[in-house]
């Protein structure tokens, strides 16, 4: 079994790290020790802080001379991500365990986020009971709250450290002995509650055609997670029905996936079929949390904790331009589908967000800006019509090369 990477600042947490090392070894696993401490050097680490600093484009001497803790932590984060990913790609490590406070957590999880989903990752942290999104990102990082500070060995910390060591050993062992099922090609699909009927029917068609379908909830983190898996090479094709995260990125909602949404599949050149699902809405929390500048807008209370705001004609035009621009950069086979009768469950005849004029502005922008490498399908359907879902799914099967066009 390949060693477990154990990351920590040996200058300040040497006793704790070495205790965990001993527990891991007592479980029959080996350790690849990585030192991220910048104050002094250790002789027993497989990778030193000096090597990490070099990987970040600096030197340990420069960091010590400057004496800026923030810059040192940033450098360690940059360097450790590069080194740990290289170690994994070279087959030298099987998983990662780290422990620390704010700096140690930032450094350890930077390494973990560089690794593909599925690689065991455990971080013991003093920050694990608060907002953990900066540390987890879109990867399967397991956080264990340290309860007491990672500062010395005592009856509490020993229990936490033992559990963490046992967890990473169990994860690595389970992964090493697990069967790998990769017989089916994998499709990533995006869904919102208001596009569920479309994605559900499309998923059924794709599964009947022999694909495994991973559905991502388009809540910002869902879009980022999907794009990350695409970049990691784990996705074979994309059914991007629900591009709504761009509404929040453009207008200022709470579910943005960031400005790189819609770029991963285009860059990797994998087959994709894209649509305009839920481009009629911007997401906020409870109504009272919506910024005052939007008070004159049209809202729909989805539930007590989710308020939806209808996108305007101006915003829809810009969304059409942005989405078309992103998709047009695709290096692989790509198709775009427009549902002329509405883009969400509440954007239909009689629905609270039904606004054919606003939709038409978006559709016109798409038609005008999609490049010739993208095939455009203008259908007289609503996004949630079975016929629309089946057309998208069948087109993706065609682009995947599993049937003749």
Indicate the pLDDT class of residue 40, thresholds 50, 70 and 90. Answer: confident
Is a pLDDT exceeding 90 seen at residue 220?
A: yes
The whole-number average pLDDT for the span 19-29 is 96
Average pLDDT, the chain: 94
The mean pLDDT value for 371-399 works out to: 98
| pLDDT per residue as tens digits for the range 114-172 | 999 899 999 999 999 878 888 898 889 999 999 999 889 999 999 999 999 999 999 99
- Residue 373: pLDDT over 80: yes
pLDDT for position 295: 94
Residue predicted with more confidence, 43 or 283 = 283
Model confidence band, residue 405 (pLDDT cutoffs 50, 70, 90): very low
- Count the helix, strand and coil residues of the chain and give each as a percent rounded to the nearest 5: 45, 20, 40
Per-residue b or e along 114-135, where b marks 16 or more CB atoms closer than 10 Å to that residue's CB? bbbeebbbbbbbbbbeeebeeb
**Domains of the chain, each with CATH number or no CATH:** 4-177 (3.40.50.12020), 186-399 (3.40.50.12030)
Can you tell me whether residue 345 is helix, strand or coil?
coil
Interior angle at CA 386, CA 383 and CA 391, nearest 5: 80
Angle at 306 between CA 346 and CA 364, to 5 degrees: 40
DSSP string, 307-341: EEEEPPHHHHHHHHHHHHHHHTT-SS-EEEEEETT
Q: What is the mean pLDDT of residues 271-279?
A: 98
**Ramachandran sector of residue 382 (left: φ over 0; alpha: ψ -120 to 50; beta: rest):** beta
* Percentage of the chain lying above the pLDDT 70 cut: 98
The confidence score (pLDDT) of residue 137 equals 85
- For the stretch 176-193, pLDDT in tens is 877 555 678 999 999 999
Is the predicted pLDDT of residue 402 greater than 70, yes or no? no
pLDDT tens for residues 286-323? 999 999 999 999 999 988 899 999 999 999 999 999 99
**CA distances in angstroms from 349 to 40, 42, 51, listed in the order given:** 69, 69, 63
For residue 42, what pLDDT band results from cuts at 50, 70 and 90?
Answer: confident
What pLDDT shows up at residue 138? 84
Q: pLDDT tens digits for 230-268?
A: 998 999 999 999 999 999 999 999 999 999 999 999 999
87: confidence class by pLDDT, cuts 50, 70, 90: very high
* Residue 1 pLDDT grade (very low, low, confident, very high; cuts 50, 70, 90): confident
pLDDT value of residue 180? 59
404, pLDDT greater than 80: no
Contacts 24+ apart (CB under 8 A), 41-45: 42/10, 42/11, 42/14, 44/10, 45/10
Question: Across residues 215-224, what is the average pLDDT?
Answer: 94
Mean pLDDT of 315-336: 98
Strands ordered across the beta sheet of 237-240: 212-217, 186-191, 237-240, 272-274, 334-339, 374-379
């Amino acid at each position: 079994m390949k060693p477990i990477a154990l990351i920590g600042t040996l200058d300040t947490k040497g006793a704790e790290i070495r205790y965990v090392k001993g527990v891991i070894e007592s479980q029959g696993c080996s350790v690849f020790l990585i030192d991220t401490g910048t104050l002094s050097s250790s002789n027993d680490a497989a990778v030193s802080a000096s090597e990490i600093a070099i990987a970040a484009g600096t030197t340990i001497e420069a960091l010590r001379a400057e004496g800026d803790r923030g810059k040192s932590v940033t450098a360690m984060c940059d360097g450790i991500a590069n080194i740990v990913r290289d170690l994994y790609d070279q087959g030298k490590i099987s998983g990662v365990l780290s422990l620390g406070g704010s700096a140690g957590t930032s450094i350890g999880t930077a390494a973990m986020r560089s690794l593909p989903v599925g690689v065991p990752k455990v971080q013991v942290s003093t920050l694990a009971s608060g907002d953990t999104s900066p540390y987890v990102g879109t990867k399967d990082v397991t956080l264990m709250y340290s309860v007491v500070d990672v500062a010395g060995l005592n009856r509490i910390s020993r229990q936490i450290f033992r559990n963490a060591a046992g967890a990473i050993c169990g994860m690595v062992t389970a992964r090493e002995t697990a069967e790998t099922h990769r017989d089916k090609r994998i499709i990533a699909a995006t869904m919102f509650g208001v596009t569920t009927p479309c994605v559900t029917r499309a998923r059924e068609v794709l599964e009947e055609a022999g694909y495994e379908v991973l559905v991502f909830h388009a809540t910002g983190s869902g879009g980022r997670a999907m794009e990350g898996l695409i970049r990691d090479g784990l996705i074979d094709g994309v059914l991007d029905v629900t591009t709504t995260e761009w509404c929040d990125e453009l207008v200022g909602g709470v579910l943005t996936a960031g400005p790189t949404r819609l770029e991963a599949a285009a860059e990797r050149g994998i087959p994709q079929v894209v649509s305009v699902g839920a481009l009629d809405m911007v997401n906020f929390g409870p109504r009272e949390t919506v910024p005052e500048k939007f008070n004159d807008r049209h809202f729909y209370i989805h539930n007590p904790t989710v308020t939806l705001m209808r996108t305007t004609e101006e915003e829809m035009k810009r969304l059409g331009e942005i989405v078309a621009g992103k998709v047009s950069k695709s290096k692989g086979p790509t198709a775009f589908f427009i549902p002329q009768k509405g883009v969400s469950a509440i954007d239909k005849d009689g629905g609270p967000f039904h606004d054919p004029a606003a939709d038409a502005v978006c559709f016109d922008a798409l038609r005008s800006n999609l490049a010739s490498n993208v095939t455009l399908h203008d259908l007289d359907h609503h996004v949630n019509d079975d016929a629309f879902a089946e057309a998208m799914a069948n087109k993706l099967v065609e682009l995947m090369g599993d049937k003749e066009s």
